[in-house]
């Protein structure tokens, strides 16, 4: 039974303000979040590895007096290593992994006063656009329609937030893994500039610098605040993002400048989009023009296909690395059912890639980043400040379409019905390192969310955040909820 009738009306920022005023307690918020997980998670299979007693003990021991003091929270079950929160990392091979120390990102989240009480599902190795890992006993389902995926690889976080269990959750993004669930679940998802957030000490770099943490939220200001409390490189980081000229939250307090927007209503290779996605792009373009921005149809001149092939090689090698390190550490061979088909295929493909091939792939990723930088070129009279596209090429896929059963890893990623055909935009900005966001401005006639994607020049995170906030004001989405999120507990 719900004990806080207004819970659905509060984002994380509002919850923290109410806790500070002693109008609600951390214990009450945690109890409500856990009750919602008990009632709603069986339908979606998004929240796993519950640590309810640990969360209660955090509150009893005294939470840090940070800007998110007392707000219930969930970590993605991939990365965000924490002593108190063991992880499956989406894989039977890594089930019940315990950590000897906290990751930098978790330490910063904990210092903000968040009350973590569990983890959220992810696909094995984080390499899918759906979340259907065998270690969780079944697929994670989209709260808007249970037959559809909430996306991946932060699909559990997207589903948990969309279902109204928590106002915000942790995610990560190496090829769209925050923005794909944001688009699929009607949420806001923001990928910062490469190295804007810490990645250590467990990872030297994620997928040649392409992977970064992030968050799934119902409001723009929640993402801004979460980025502010986690922003900045950790000790010894191999990459370094340009310093911000203002905080993310400060960017919300000013209107964005008049921006030059490039509109692309096809994929980045010129292939057609699903009509729902194309319509979302055109309606957003009209809204941006109404807001005073300049919108011009344009298609970046960059080696998209070469980037995707290089991304596929790098991620295959990353997949092989974590599997081989795990097996070496325990000293036994890989069991028959310990990893899924796509991971086996990635291992086999990685075995064909030489060291020179790998370095060539990294070079192609960085070359692609320079090509995209020239397209934007903020100092040029014919450059752009923003690239507007759809987030996905079609509405959220049906459950099972991107299951990890196949061992043809390359076709799974790059085939005509593969993930890059379904999600042709997101990975481009992991490769280039640029900030990018999925904004929930559209729903189709079947009630499924259709996100729009905005990308900005490298380092221009707060300019992008200001624009997203302005779009939220112009076309609010906060109170648009799936039926599951409004059902009685």
Give 29-86 pLDDT, tens digit per residue: 999 999 999 999 999 999 999 999 999 999 999 999 999 999 999 999 999 999 999 9
Measured distance CA(384)–CA(456) in Å, rounded: 8
Going by pLDDT thresholds of 50, 70 and 90, the confidence category of residue 380 is low
Q: Calculate mean pLDDT across residues 291-311.
A: 97
* Lowest-pLDDT range of 2-6, 129-133, 228-232, 291-295: 2-6
pLDDT at residue 257 in the model? 86
Question: Is residue 2 situated within a structural domain?
Answer: no
Residue 405 confidence (pLDDT): 96
For residue 254, the model assigns a pLDDT of: 87
Burial (0-12, 13-18, 19+ Cβ within 10 Å), 336: exposed
Confidence at 256, pLDDT banded by 50, 70, 90: confident
In a domain, 1, yes or no: no
- Per-residue confidence (pLDDT) for residue 93, from 0 to 100: 98
Q: Is the pLDDT of residue 255 over 90?
A: no
- Whether 273 shows a pLDDT value over 70: the answer reads yes
Confidence band for 203, pLDDT divided at 50, 70 and 90: confident
What is the Cα–Cα distance from 357 to 364, expressed in whole angstroms?
11
Reported as a pLDDT band with limits 50, 70 and 90, residue 208 is: very high
Residue 258 is predicted with a pLDDT of 94
Q: Mean pLDDT, to the nearest integer, of 381-389? A: 91
pLDDT of residue 26: 98
**CATH number of domain containing 37:** 3.90.1300.10
Give the model's confidence band at 141: pLDDT under 50 very low, under 70 low, under 90 confident, else very high. Answer: very high
Instruction: Round the average pLDDT of the chain to a whole number and report it.
Output: 97
- Are the C-beta atoms of 432 and 460 separated by less than 8 Å? no
345-375 pLDDT tens trace: 999 999 999 999 999 999 999 999 999 999 9
CA distance 259 to 396: 30
Active-site residue numbers?
A: 76, 153, 177
The reply to whether 69 falls in a domain is yes
Q: What is the pLDDT of residue 175?
A: 98
What pLDDT score was predicted for residue 379? 59
Query: Residue 425: CA atoms inside 13 Å, Cβ hemisphere, count?
Result: 35
Q: What is the mean pLDDT of residues 463-471?
A: 97
**Spatial CA neighbour of 20 closest among 74, 57, 72, 68:** 68
Q: What is the CA radius of gyration of the chain?
A: 21
Give 174's contacts (C-beta < 8 A, 6+ positions apart).
126, 153, 206, 207, 210, 211, 212, 315, 430
> Stretch 212-230: mean pLDDT, rounded?
98
Q: Say if residue 407's pLDDT is above 70.
A: yes
Q: Provide the residue range defining the domain that includes 219.
A: 7-486
* Mean pLDDT across 239-263: 94
Alpha carbon distance 238, 433 (integer Å): 14
Model pTM score = 0.98
Q: Residue 178: pLDDT above 80?
A: yes
pLDDT of 157: 99
Exposed, middle or buried: residue 445 (CB in 10 Å: 0-12, 13-18, 19+)?
exposed
Query: Is 62 exposed, middle or buried (CB count within 10 Å of its CB: 0-12, 13-18, 19+)?
Result: exposed
pLDDT of residue 183 exceeding 70: yes
User: Residue 82 forms beta bridges with which residues?
Assistant: 85
The pLDDT assigned to 377 comes to: 84
Using the predicted structure, report yes or no on whether residue 15 has a pLDDT greater than 80: yes
Q: pLDDT-based confidence at 3, cuts 50/70/90? A: confident
Q: At 378, is the pLDDT very low, low, confident or very high (cuts 50, 70, 90)? A: low
pLDDT at 382: 79
pLDDT above 70: residue 325: yes
Residues 6+ apart with CB under 8 A from 52: 34, 117, 118
Residues 236-263: what's their mean pLDDT? 94
Checking if the pLDDT of 385 tops 80, the result is: yes
Count up the domains in the chain and report the number: 1
Mean pLDDT of 125-133: 96
332-338 contacts at long range (C-beta below 8 A, 24 or more positions apart): 334/93, 335/93, 337/92, 337/134, 338/91, 338/92, 338/93
């Amino acid at each position: 039974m719900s004990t806080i009738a207004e819970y659905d009306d509060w984002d994380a920022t509002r919850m923290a303000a109410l806790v500070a005023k002693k109008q609600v307690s951390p214990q009450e918020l945690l109890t409500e979040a856990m009750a919602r997980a008990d009632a709603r998670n069986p339908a979606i299979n998004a929240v796993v590895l519950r640590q309810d007693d640990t969360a209660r003990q955090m509150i009893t021991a005294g939470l840090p007096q940070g800007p998110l003091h007392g707000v219930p929270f969930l970590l993605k079950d991939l990365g965000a290593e924490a002593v108190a929160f063991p992880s499956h990392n989406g894989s039977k091979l890594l089930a019940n992994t315990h950590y000897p120390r906290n990751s930098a990102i978790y330490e910063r989240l904990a210092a903000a006063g968040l009350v973590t009480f569990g983890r959220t599902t992810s696909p094995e190795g984080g390499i899918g656009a759906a979340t259907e890992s065998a270690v969780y006993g079944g697929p994670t389902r989209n709260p808007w329609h249970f037959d559809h995926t909430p996306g991946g690889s932060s699909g559990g976080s997207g589903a948990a937030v969309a279902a109204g269990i928590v106002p915000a959750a942790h995610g990560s993004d190496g090829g769209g893994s925050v923005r794909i669930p944001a688009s699929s679940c009607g949420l806001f998802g923001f990928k910062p500039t490469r190295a804007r957030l810490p990645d250590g000490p467990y990872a030297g770099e994620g997928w040649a610098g392409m992977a970064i943490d992030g968050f799934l939220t119902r409001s723009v200001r929640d993402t801004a605040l979460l980025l502010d409390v986690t922003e900045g490189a950790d000790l010894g980081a191999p990459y370094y993002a340009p310093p911000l000229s203002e905080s993310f939250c400060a960017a919300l307090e000013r209107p964005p400048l008049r921006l030059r927007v490039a509109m692309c209503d096809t994929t980045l290779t010129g292939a057609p989009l699903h009509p729902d996605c194309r319509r979302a792009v055109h309606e957003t373009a009209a809204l941006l023009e109404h807001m005073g921005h300049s919108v011009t149809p344009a298609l970046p001149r960059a080696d998209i296909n070469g980037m995707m092939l290089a991304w596929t090689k790098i991620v295959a090698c990353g997949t092989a690395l974590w599997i081989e390190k795990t097996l070496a550490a325990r000293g036994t061979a890989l069991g028959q059912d310990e990893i899924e088909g796509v991971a086996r295929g990635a291992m086999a493909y990685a075995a064909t890639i030489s060291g020179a091939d790998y370095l060539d792939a990294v070079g192609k990723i960085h070359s692609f980043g320079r090509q995209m930088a020239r397209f934007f070129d903020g100092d040029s009279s014919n450059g752009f400040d923003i690239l507007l596209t759809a987030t996905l090429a079609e509405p959220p896929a049906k459950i099972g379409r991107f299951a990890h059963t196949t061992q043809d890893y390359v076709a799974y990623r790059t085939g005509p019905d593969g993930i890059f055909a379904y999600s042709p935009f997101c990975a481009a900005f992991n490769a280039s390192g640029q900030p990018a966001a999925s904004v929930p401005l559209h729903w189709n006639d079947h009630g499924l969310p259709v996100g729009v994607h905005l990308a900005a020049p490298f380092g221009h995170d707060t300019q992008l955040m200001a624009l997203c906030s302005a779009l939220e004001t112009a076309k609010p989405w906060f109170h648009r909820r799936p039926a599951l999120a409004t059902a009685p507990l």
